[in-house]
Amino acid sequence: MSACGFHVIATCRIKSEAEILALKNELFPENDNIDILPVDVSSYESCSSLINKVTQKYGVISVLINNAGITADSSFKKMSLDQWQSVVSCNLDSMFNMSKLVFSPMCVQGWGRIINISSINAQKGQFGQANYAASKAGILGFTKSLAAEGASSGVTVNSVSPGYIATRMVMKLPDDIKEYIVSGIPVGRFGRPDEIAHTIKFIVDENSGFLTGSNIAVNGGQHMF
Ligand SMILES: NC(=O)c1ccc[n+]([C@@H]2O[C@H](COP(=O)([O-])OP(=O)(O)OC[C@H]3O[C@@H](n4cnc5c(N)ncnc54)[C@H](OP(=O)(O)O)[C@@H]3O)[C@@H](O)[C@H]2O)c1
């Protein structure tokens, strides 16, 4: 997004200033077009404080990518209430918390892009992920409804459903599970984060204004629908 000329506010969970500076130096050295700010997306107050800070400095936010997400896998029989609530709160409540704060100003501005990151498992389902799949399926309904509300104001709302991508979330799985997953991906490998970024760039493009309420699956052919 930075390469597309946007000033990017990347977020992470609440950390100290020193930790954030170290993260910035590690990930985006010498790029003044990217700030990293902490937020807890499951808290409306935390999101509100972040958006206030950003809008005071940069004005109306034009693109919101709701990407933060967690897993807390367990068979449903063993799933605790905390595993359910923490995943739904981070993955789905966050859609309300962040979108609520930016959607109306975007509509007044007459241009905006909201991109919500769902998952292959929203539509496919997955053993041990009743919490995660429910939260990610909720994102699909939320996206279509908000798209209907934003359409006449130049604000598009779409979702991207990645398959298995080689990020921390997937690479922390045991090797035998990773091999099993790859054996089920027709393309024969995990996806790369830059392949998801490429899809987001396409959605954000000025010429993608007719694309709204859609879900783009990027999963190496693992789930076709
Ligand atoms: N990787 C995959 O195969 C895959 C497949 C389908 C969908 N997805 C979705 O893609 C998105 C990104 O996943 P990923 O693979 O990049 O996962 P990841 O490597 O575990 O990164 C998750 C990110 O979410 C942030 N986060 C977690 N809880 C948060 C909270 N309460 N407030 C603010 N930020 C929070 C984390 O912040 P910290 O950096 O501070 O920890 C981290 O930056 C998620 O929504 C995930 O469900 C991933």
Residues 54-90: tens digit of each pLDDT: 999 999 999 999 999 999 999 999 999 999 999 999 9
Pocket lining: 168 vs ligand 1, CB cutoff 6 Å: yes
pLDDT grade, residue 224 (50/70/90)? very high
Q: What Å distances lie between residue 191 and 134, 165, 186, CA to CA?
A: 23, 4, 11
Q: Ligand 1 mean position to 68 CA, how many Å?
A: 4
**Confidence check: pLDDT of 127 > 80:** yes
With a CB cutoff of 8 Å and minimum separation 6, the contacts of 61 are: 51, 54, 55, 102, 105, 106, 112
Tell me which architecture the domain covering 39-218 has in CATH: 3-Layer(aba) Sandwich (3.40)
Atom in ligand 1 nearest the alpha carbon of residue 120: 6
pLDDT of residue 4: 77
Nearest to 95 by CA among 121, 74, 114: 114
Q: What is the pLDDT of residue 14?
A: 86
Edge-first strand listing for the sheet containing 155-162:
63-66, 112-117, 155-162, 215-218
The reported pLDDT for the residue numbered 3 is: 74
**CA of residue 108 to ligand 1 center, whole Å:** 30
Output the pLDDT for position 30: 87
Q: Separation of 71 CA from ligand 1 center, angstroms?
A: 9
pLDDT, position 131: 98
- With a pLDDT cut of 90, the percent of the chain lying above it is 95
10 Å CB burial of residue 159 (0-12, 13-18, 19+) is buried
Mean pLDDT to the nearest integer, 157-178? 96
* Residue 132 bears catalytic tag: yes
Q: DSSP 3-state assignment of 36?
A: strand
Catalytic hit among 44, 58, 132, 180: 132
Q: Give the residue with greater pLDDT, 40 vs 32.
A: 40
Nearest CA to ligand 1 atom 46: 69
Q: Is the CB of 170 under 6 A from ligand 1?
A: yes
Q: What average pLDDT is seen over the chain?
A: 97
| Residue 181 CA neighbour count, 13 Å, CB half | 21
Check whether 1 has a pLDDT greater than 90.
no
Taking CA atoms only, the protein residue closest to ligand 1 atom 44 is: 69
Report the pLDDT averaged over residues 96-122.
Answer: 98
pLDDT for the residue 23: 95
State the closest ligand 1 atom to the C-alpha of 165, by its place in the atom list counted from 1: 3
**Alpha carbon of 165 to ligand 1 centroid (Å):** 11
- At 51 the pLDDT is 98
CB 45 within 8 A of CB 22: no
pLDDT of residue 85: 98
